Amino acid sequence: MNQFDAGDTNLSRSIALDASTVDSVTVTVAVPATRTEEWAVLDSLYTTSKASFRPFLDKASDLQYDSNIDFFDTVRRDAPVSVLTTTHLGKDGSNPERVEAVQSALLVSELTNSETLVLVDGGKTKAEAFVKAIDGIVSEIPPTTHCIRAEQYFPTALLADILASHLAHQITDSSDCTAVTPPSPESKREYADEWGKAYSSLFQSQARYERTPVPTKRGRTVRERIRCWYEGYVAVGNGEYPMTDSLTPVVHSAEKRGFSRLADQLSQI
């Protein structure tokens, strides 16, 4: 299981980000985890998932929410890592993508450290917006990369995707923000001092997105995407595929770490 090779340094931890907007409510979720903790996240997702939902293939929007509330709630309940979330209730004409960039910046500003890679789900423009927003509230922009369809490559990104969708469906007003689990406080209230700075920075910042040079690959199949995750590759668009889709080292690593059930599931792919 490789760390993220950033050239001069290796990054042992990441923060996966994802957001969901339902009606006017936008919820953004940040999932911080070490590369070691990602195994527990993947094990939990495979345990919860069913034949109609497979990690490294499906995402939250592939499920009809009202028919699968138990699945969403079980993922939430059994999440093996702590997450941080925040809510924008909307109804003010704000653009959800701008809100997501600001919310992501607010969450990351609380979580990042020098060994952390920020994983922005989506294309280059999403990462550019995040960088501009966070530039208004931190002294140094953290190592950042975008990853297209990150929820198909990283279990932490899939967890963020599922939780964001679940919470956005559950929250309709400010009282829900503190009643849900995990709590998802209103961005403008919880981050009253930073919200305006980050939002203004979206338009005023001269910061440029310089992608942290972690290796890039893309996967055509579940097996290839599992190898990308295992090797620490991110998908940034057209590019090379993994040299092999063998899951033997992944299965052996799962067994070595005590995830025998996960190893069995991976060996059947």
Asked if residue 266 is part of any domain, the answer here is no
As a whole number of angstroms, the distance between CA 79 and CA 47 comes to 11
| Mean pLDDT taken over the chain | 95
Is pLDDT above 80 for 52? no
pLDDT in tens, 159-172: 999 999 999 999 99
Q: Considering only CA atoms, which of 196, 13, 205 is closest in space to residue 128? A: 205
Q: Looking at the whole model, is its pTM more than 0.95?
A: yes
Query: Which range of residues forms the domain containing residue 184?
Result: 4-260
Is pLDDT above 80 for 158? yes
Asked if residue 224 is part of any domain, the answer here is yes
Q: Is the dihedral of CA 164, 54, 234, 264 positive or negative?
A: positive
Torsion angle of the four alpha carbons 125, 130, 136, 140, in this order, in degrees rounded to the nearest 10: -110
Mean pLDDT of the 161-190 span: 96
As a whole number of angstroms, the distance between CA 16 and CA 35 comes to 12
Higher pLDDT, 172 or 113: 172
- Distances in whole angstroms, Cα of residue 225 to Cα of each of 130, 147, 159, 228: 25, 12, 16, 5
Asked if residue 265 is part of any domain, the answer here is no
Asked if residue 180 is part of any domain, the answer here is yes
Q: For the purposes of burial, counting CB atoms within 10 Å of the CB of 140, is it exposed (0-12), middle (13-18) or buried (19 or more)?
A: exposed
Domain with residue 130: its CATH number is 3.30.420.10
Is pLDDT above 70 for 9? yes
Is pLDDT above 70 for 132? yes
pLDDT band at 115 (very low <50, low <70, confident <90, very high): confident
Is pLDDT above 70 for 51? no
Please provide the distance, in angstroms rounded to a whole number, between the alpha carbons at the two ends of the chain. Answer: 19
pLDDT in tens, 195-235: 999 999 999 999 999 999 999 999 999 999 999 999 999 99
Percentage of residues of the chain with pLDDT beyond 90? 91
As a whole number of angstroms, the distance between CA 77 and CA 79 comes to 6
Is pLDDT above 90 for 250? yes
- Count H helices, E strands: the chain? 11, 7
Asked if residue 85 is part of any domain, the answer here is yes
Tell me, what DSSP letter sits at residue 14? E
Is pLDDT above 90 for 56? yes
Give me the pLDDT at residue 247, please: 97
Asked if residue 174 is part of any domain, the answer here is yes
Asked if residue 187 is part of any domain, the answer here is yes
Residue with tokens 């090779």: 5
Is pLDDT above 90 for 123? yes
Number of structural domains the chain divides into: 1
As a whole number of angstroms, the distance between CA 184 and CA 197 comes to 21
Asked if residue 57 is part of any domain, the answer here is yes
Q: Which pairs count as long-range contacts for 174-178, CB under 8 Å and 24+ apart, including other chains?
A: 174/89, 177/87
pLDDT band at 49 (very low <50, low <70, confident <90, very high): confident
As a whole number of angstroms, the distance between CA 96 and CA 34 comes to 29
Is pLDDT above 90 for 148? yes
